């Protein structure tokens, strides 16, 4: 069905039909007309999204084909849905996850996912044993989204928003975002909770909202004083832990000053209650989260987000693609296994389609002379290059957007570049004047040739 | 007070008296309440049964455990959720039961009523009497709010603040009196009350524990033992024992498990919750009816829902769970829930099962496969058994090094398919259930055997397995992976478990009497 016809069908369906997805197709929360009108009048901030999908890709379907020059290439079959945005993409060849190549604690998936957005190795630890007997701690540093949030996240309702789709493993192989060394941030896997978090505190009339803020301010004052009273009686390790918590309380207090939902940003319709543990619900959850993220950006409720589909070493099936293999085991199939390869390619294409949906949604929000897409940068990564080799070389990174900083519409080739350099480039594009990120031993500065 | 690990006979036989006494004690860092603990605490504190934590993010896990004091920590999301939950809990409490929560007779001084509420309710919320400065902070909030919010509103705001205060959200064990001469700090009475209640009931201390703490009656082994036995007999202890097994056995993915079974019609069926209920009931049976670790490994009891009864060819009453004795079962490792969880959708998984038994039940981590190996299970073959398809593991030297540790354990469970159904044949071929336990260092375990029954009997008779159970319970009780400083405590608890001949409730009591449960290392600030 082409887009025009699907659009017509949509109009005839009831809202309930749409959300339940009569044919398994997830359908959007509508971006309200007044919201799009509003967005035009406001000086647009820059936004960052980190996207993660697990267990490697099928490289020959993922990589650009017929590459005759940087700018002359065709999209691989995995990325068909990204065709409308081809001129906003940058593909990479020869960028390694150098941080995971060096010997260090943890298995290959663990080291990969831990280092992916932190550029750091895992902490030593006797703590975690994953399904494969590898012991390691959490990643040993802040992730790039949180570093950006420290710089540009302080004026919005939420400094950052961590979203997950069936990202339900709560140990090192299931975390991509870190507030600091050993401080993983959990993703939200339930669109209804995301909705509540974004809109519950800011809806209602002004006087109710003012009263809530006043009450919260008095309560948080007392809470802060209790932290201080307690900390004076604790040892230094416990004090440090409480300090981290107190900082979060102070952040909440500071955000009370953030005016609620801006003018022209009405509260969207509430998404349905869905079971985050259901494999069947994954496509609807993913699309609802993408739509909520687009609205959150449009209304400037946050400027930094991560979007994580499942976790490394998962056992997730994708029933809506008729892919009934269990994720991680499936990814171990060699290239000669045709049926597994087809399943993996279908998953890769669905993942790529989520990125396409996000870019599409952003491109529907007018901003200044263009759209929100012009002010958004997406970095998509994976913890290994290929599932059956677990290689950390030639990683399937994809940049989308960031056109204010990067020359896009290109397929770039490097020779064993370290992905830490790419993370520095992301920081720089987001206005953070860094020259290094993560472990400095595997970082030489911004990646050449991007800007 | 002197640490006294040698009382009530928990000292391991042959151990020199005083060895544990002199040993360094482990630390006891502050511990953020888990979701279960939060919900239970709110219920016991306020009668609020709404289980508010369902929207909280999941705890970071360590080896399956959700209560690890290092991994479970505040995040922006969690702190926001604490705020939202505190607000709605406080609003509900004030609107439904202000009179019992913060009684104030007509004409009484509202400020005096507020001060009384802060101290009496605060004592239960903080699980110890408030210190003066803590009480004054709430007094100030109450008095400042009174004019704008009225009495009920001021109580509501104080309650909202209490529920976000670290003294409520964290279990804090380190405001004790140092006894530097022994290098150990005994937990104070209120600290001990919370340690006992959160370990054994997953919640705050009850009235009797508070009384005991107030009278300083939680200082001796006898006093602690009395309270432990009392708590173990409460309904909350049953919930706690189930919760422990969810974490220890890593059942996170079980509730959402969907499987296709021709007996139940076309399409996938959400059987996970049936299986979880079945396993919970089995755990209840083992702990509260049988009471002994041998039942954990040898009981033929299975609990079935009507749907599960169809799968396992037995009969069940129309509602709820029915207890049946199935002759083809042998305890935990043959429980349908675990067999289904440790399987692929279309075939049994001897490797997953073997790794599970070694890692969870023997506490023997298995080394990882080499990174480039294709460890996808071979496709089902209508002309071969699962076992035959895994032959490659023992044909290649590279694979054999590890798979001799794993497969010989998992193969013994090949008489159960991916849905946990018993089978004597697979694809018309007889199922070979012979196996070998290898390299465990326990002569009771190692050696060739045949079938789940013999494997289970090995597990039941093994000191290593008993020690592993005891160690896992200790790990759960202290919320940490045991380290060097826990060696004495582990020796105490494993010896007590052995001496009780595998009595599971005695094991829980023994944990509360270990050094690691009773004492902590002094903070650097406290060192002499």
Tens digit of each residue's pLDDT, chain A (451 residues) = 333 333 322 333 333 333 333 333 344 565 555 565 555 555 789 999 999 999 999 999 999 999 999 999 999 999 999 999 999 999 999 999 999 987 778 888 889 999 999 999 999 876 655 544 556 789 999 999 999 999 999 888 899 999 999 999 998 999 999 999 999 999 999 999 999 889 876 655 677 778 888 999 999 999 999 999 999 888 888 999 999 999 999 999 988 887 667 777 778 888 999 999 999 999 999 999 999 999 999 989 999 999 999 999 888 999 999 998 888 888 888 778 888 899 999 999 999 999 999 999 999 998 888 999 999 999 999 999 998 888 999 999 999 999 999 999 999 999 999 999 999 999 999 999 999 999 999 999 999 999 9
* pLDDT higher than threshold 80 for residue B347: yes
CA A200/CA A212 separation, integer angstroms: 11
According to DSSP, the β-strands at B268-270 and B258-260 are antiparallel
CA B77/CA B89 separation, integer angstroms: 18
Which residues share a beta bridge with A129? Answer: A135
Higher per-residue pLDDT: A354 or B399: A354
Q: CB-CB: which of A134, A248, A319 is closest to B76?
A: A248
Average pLDDT, chain B: 90
CA atoms within 13 A on the CB side of B120: 11
Interchain contact, B365 vs A129, CB within 8 Å: yes
CA B190/CA B216 separation, integer angstroms: 8
Least confident among A363-372, B349-358, B517-526: B517-526
Query: B439 vs chain A: nearest CA distance in angstroms?
Result: 16
Give the per-residue pLDDT at A4. 34
**Phi, psi at A214, each rounded to 5°:** -65, -45
Tokens representing residue B12 in the block: 């391991």
CA A305/CA A411 separation, integer angstroms: 25
Interchain contact, A188 vs B30, CB within 8 Å: no
CA A449/CA A446 separation, integer angstroms: 9
CA A298/CA A269 separation, integer angstroms: 16
Sign of the dihedral defined by the CA atoms of residues B402, B359, B378, B446, in that order: positive
Q: Does B54 touch chain A (CB under 8 A)?
A: no
What are B35-67's pLDDT values in tens digits? 999 999 999 999 999 999 998 999 999 889 999
CA B424/CA A231 separation, integer angstroms: 63
A31-191+271-442 topology per CATH: Alkaline Phosphatase, subunit A (3.40.720)
Interchain contact, B30 vs A197, CB within 8 Å: no
Higher per-residue pLDDT: B384 or A17: B384
Give the per-residue pLDDT at B523. 76
Residues from chain B contacting residue A220 (CB–CB below 8 Å): 164
List, as one string, the DSSP characters of A148-159. Answer: HHHHHSTTSS-S
CA B513/CA B7 separation, integer angstroms: 9
Give the per-residue pLDDT at A3. 36
Which of A233-247, A253-267, B125-139, B264-278 is the most confident on average?
A: B125-139
Give the per-residue pLDDT at A5. 33
Question: Domain segments of chain B: what residues?
Answer: 29-172
Largest interatomic CA distance in chain A: 67
Q: Chain A interface, mutation test: which of B26, B64, B72, B76, most A Cβ atoms within 10 Å?
A: B76
Tokens representing residue A186 in the block: 């959990």
Residues from chain B contacting residue A325 (CB–CB below 8 Å): 376
Residue B20: count other Cβ atoms within 10 Å of its Cβ: 26
Interchain contact, B345 vs A317, CB within 8 Å: yes
* pLDDT higher than threshold 80 for residue B380: no
Interchain contact, B255 vs A252, CB within 8 Å: no
CA B491/CA B16 separation, integer angstroms: 12
CB crowding A200-226: b at 16 or more within 10 Å, else e = ebbeeeeeebeebbebbebbbbbbbbb
Contact B81, B56 (CB under 8 A): yes
Sign of the dihedral defined by the CA atoms of residues B438, B439, B440, B441, in that order: positive
Residues from chain A contacting residue B57 (CB–CB below 8 Å): 186-188
Interchain contact, B141 vs A219, CB within 8 Å: yes
Contact A110, B346 (CB under 8 A): no
Higher per-residue pLDDT: B16 or B38: B38
CA B476/CA B244 separation, integer angstroms: 7
Query: B62 vs chain A: nearest CA distance in angstroms?
Result: 5
* pLDDT higher than threshold 80 for residue B13: no
Interchain contact, A248 vs B79, CB within 8 Å: yes
CA A317/CA A52 separation, integer angstroms: 17
List, as one string, the DSSP characters of B393-425. Answer: HHHSHHHHHHHHHHHHHHGGGTTB-TTS-B-SE
CA A42/CA A259 separation, integer angstroms: 15
A-contacting residues in B 357-386 (Cβ below 8 Å)? 359, 365-369, 371-377
Tokens representing residue A213 in the block: 């803020």
Q: CB-CB: which of A135, A188, A223 is closest to B164?
A: A223
Residues from chain B contacting residue A126 (CB–CB below 8 Å): 481, 483
Tokens representing residue B405 in the block: 């540790």
What are B186-196's pLDDT values in tens digits? 899 999 999 99
CA A122/CA A100 separation, integer angstroms: 9
Q: Does B341 touch chain A (CB under 8 A)?
A: no
Residue B252: count other Cβ atoms within 10 Å of its Cβ: 18
Residues from chain B contacting residue A275 (CB–CB below 8 Å): 256
**Phi, psi at B325, each rounded to 5°:** -100, 120
Q: Does B135 touch chain A (CB under 8 A)?
A: no
Specify the DSSP element, H or E, that contains A238.
helix A236-255
Task: Describe the crossing of helices B235-248 and B463-478 by its angle, rounded to 10 degrees.
Answer: 110
Tell me the CA distances in angstroms from B459 to B283, B329, B443, B465, B469, one per residue in order.
17, 14, 11, 6, 11
Q: CB-CB: which of B76, B133, B258 is closest to A159?
A: B76
Neighbour-count burial of B493, counting CB atoms closer than 10 A to its CB (0-12 exposed, 13-18 middle, 19+ buried): buried
Interchain contact, A234 vs B355, CB within 8 Å: no
A-contacting residues in B 482-511 (Cβ below 8 Å)? 483
DSSP class of residue B62?
B
What are B294-327's pLDDT values in tens digits? 999 999 999 999 999 999 999 889 889 999 999 9
Residues from chain B contacting residue A235 (CB–CB below 8 Å): 174, 523-526
Tell which residue, A311, A305, A51, has the closest CA to residue A168.
Answer: A311
Residues from chain A contacting residue B149 (CB–CB below 8 Å): 215
Q: Does B62 touch chain A (CB under 8 A)?
A: yes
DSSP class of residue A180?
S
Share of chain B above pLDDT 70, in %: 92
Q: Tell how far CA B42 is from the center of its chain.
A: 19
Q: CB-CB: which of B29, B55, B76 is closest to A193?
A: B55
Tokens representing residue A6 in the block: 């699907």
Q: Report the chain A residue with the minimal C-alpha distance to residue B523.
A: A235
Tokens representing residue A44 in the block: 């647009």
Q: Does B355 touch chain A (CB under 8 A)?
A: yes
Give the per-residue pLDDT at B63. 87
Specify the DSSP element, H or E, that contains B160.
helix B132-162
Give the per-residue pLDDT at B68. 94
């Amino acid at each position: 069905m082409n887009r025009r016809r699907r659009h017509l069908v949509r109009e005839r369906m009831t809202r309930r039909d749409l959300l339940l997805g009569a044919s398994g197709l997830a359908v959007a929360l509508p971006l309200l007309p007044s919201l799009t009108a509003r967005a035009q009048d406001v000086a647009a901030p820059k936004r960052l999204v980190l996207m993660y999908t697990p267990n490697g890709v099928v490289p020959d379907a993922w990589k650009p084909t017929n590459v005759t020059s940087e700018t002359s290439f065709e999209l691989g079959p995995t990325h068909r849905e990204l065709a409308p945005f081809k001129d906003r993409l940058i593909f990479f060849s020869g960028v390694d996850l150098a941080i995971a190549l060096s010997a260090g604690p943890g298995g290959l998936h663990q080291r990969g996912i831990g280092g992916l957005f932190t550029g750091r190795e895992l902490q030593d630890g006797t703590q975690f044993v994953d399904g494969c007997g590898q012991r390691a701690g959490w990643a040993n540093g802040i992730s790039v989204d949180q570093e950006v949030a420290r710089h540009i996240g302080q004026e919005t309702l939420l400094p950052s928003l961590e979203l997950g789709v069936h990202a339900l493993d709560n140990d090192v192989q299931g975390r991509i975002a870190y507030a600091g060394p050993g401080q993983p941030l959990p993703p939200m896997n339930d669109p209804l909770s995301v909705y509540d978090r974004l809109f519950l505190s800011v809806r209602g009339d002004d006087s109710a909202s003012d009263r809530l803020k006043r009450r919260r301010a008095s309560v948080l004052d007392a809470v802060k004083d209790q932290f201080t009273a307690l900390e004076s009686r604790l040892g230094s390790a416990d004090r440090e832990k409480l300090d981290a918590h107190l900082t979060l309380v102070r952040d909440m207090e500071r955000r009370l000053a953030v005016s609620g939902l801006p003018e022209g940003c009405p509260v969207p319709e509430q998404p349905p209650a869905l079971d985050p543990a259901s494999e069947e619900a994954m496509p609807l959850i993913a699309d609802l989260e993408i739509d909520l993220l687009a609205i959150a950006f449009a209304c400037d409720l946050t400027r930094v987000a991560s979007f994580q589909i499942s976790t490394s070493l998962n056992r997730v099936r994708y029933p809506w693609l008729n892919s009934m293999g269990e994720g991680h085991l499936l990814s171990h199939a060699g290239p000669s296994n045709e049926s597994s390869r087809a399943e993996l390619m279908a998953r890769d294409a669905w993942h790529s389609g989520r990125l396409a949906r996000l870019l599409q949604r952003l491109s529907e929000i007018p901003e200044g002379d263009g759209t929100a897409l012009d002010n958004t940068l997406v970095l998509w990564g994976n913890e290994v290059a290929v599932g059956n080799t677990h290689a950390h070389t030639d990683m399937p990174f994809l940049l989308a957007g960031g056109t204010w900083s990067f020359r896009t519409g290109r397929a770039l080739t490097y020779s064993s570049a370290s992905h830490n350099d790419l993370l520095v480039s992301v920081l720089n594009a987001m206005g953070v004047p860094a020259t290094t990120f993560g472990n400095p031993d595997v970082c030489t500065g911004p990646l050449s040739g991007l800007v | 007070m002197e640490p006294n690990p040698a009382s009530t006979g928990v000292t391991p036989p042959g151990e020199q008296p005083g060895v544990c006494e002199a040993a360094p004690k482990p630390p006891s860092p502050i511990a953020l309440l888990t979701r279960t603990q939060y919900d239970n605490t709110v219920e016991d504190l306020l009668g609020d049964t709404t289980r508010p934590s369902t929207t909280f993010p999941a705890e970071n896990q360590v080896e399956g455990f959700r209560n690890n004091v290092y991994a479970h920590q505040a995040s922006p999301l969690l702190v926001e959720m604490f705020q939202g939950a505190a607000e709605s809990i406080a609003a509900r409490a004030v609107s439904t039961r202000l009179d019992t929560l913060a009684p104030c007779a007509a004409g009484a001084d509202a400020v005096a009523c507020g001060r009384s509420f802060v101290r009496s309710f605060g004592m239960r919320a903080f699980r110890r009497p408030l210190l003066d400065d803590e009480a004054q902070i709430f007094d100030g909030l109450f008095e400042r709010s009174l004019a704008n919010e009225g009495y009920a509103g001021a109580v509501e705001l104080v309650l909202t603040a209490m529920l976000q205060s670290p003294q409520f959200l964290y279990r804090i064990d380190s405001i004790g009196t140092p006894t530097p001469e022994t290098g150990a700090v005994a937990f104070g009475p209120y600290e001990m009350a919370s340690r006992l209640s959160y370990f054994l009931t997953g919640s705050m201390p009850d009235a009797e524990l508070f009384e005991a703490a107030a009278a300083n009656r939680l200082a001796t082994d006898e006093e602690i033992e009395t309270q432990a036995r009392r708590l173990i007999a409460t309904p909350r202890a049953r919930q706690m024992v189930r919760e422990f097994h969810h974490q220890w056995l890593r059942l996170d993915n079980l509730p959402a498990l969907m499987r296709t079974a021709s007996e139940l019609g076309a399409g996938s069926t959400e059987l996970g919750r049936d299986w979880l209920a079945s396993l919970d009931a089995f755990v209840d049976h083992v702990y509260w009816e049988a009471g002994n670790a041998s039942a954990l490994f040898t009981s033929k009891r299975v609990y079935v829902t009507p749907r599960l009864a169809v799968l396992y060819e037995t009969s069940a009453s129309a509602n709820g769970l029915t207890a049946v004795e199935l002759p083809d079962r042998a305890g935990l490792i043959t429980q349908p829930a675990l067999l289904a969880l440790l399987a692929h959708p279309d075939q049994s998984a001897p490797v997953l099962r073997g790794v599970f038994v070694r890692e969870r039940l023997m506490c023997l981590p298995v080394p990882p496969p080499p990174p480039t190996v294709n460890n996808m299970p071979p496709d089902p073959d209508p002309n071969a058994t699962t076992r035959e398809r895994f032959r490659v593991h023992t044909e290649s030297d590279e694979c054999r090094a590890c798979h001799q540790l794993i497969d010989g354990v998992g193969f013994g469970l090949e008489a159960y398919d991916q849905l946990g159904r018993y089978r004597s044949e697979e694809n018309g071929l007889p199922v070979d259930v012979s196996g070998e336990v290898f390299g465990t260092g326990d002569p009771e375990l190692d050696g060739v055997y045949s079938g789940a029954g013999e494997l289970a009997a090995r597990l039941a008779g093994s000191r290593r397995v008993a020690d592993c159970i005891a160690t896992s319970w200790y790990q759960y009780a202290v919320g940490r992976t045991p380290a060097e400083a826990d060696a004495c405590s582990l020796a105490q608890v494993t010896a007590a478990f052995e001496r009780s001949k595998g009595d599971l409730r005695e094991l829980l009591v023994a944990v509360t009497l270990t050094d690691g449960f009773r004492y902590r290392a002094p903070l650097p600030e406290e060192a002499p």
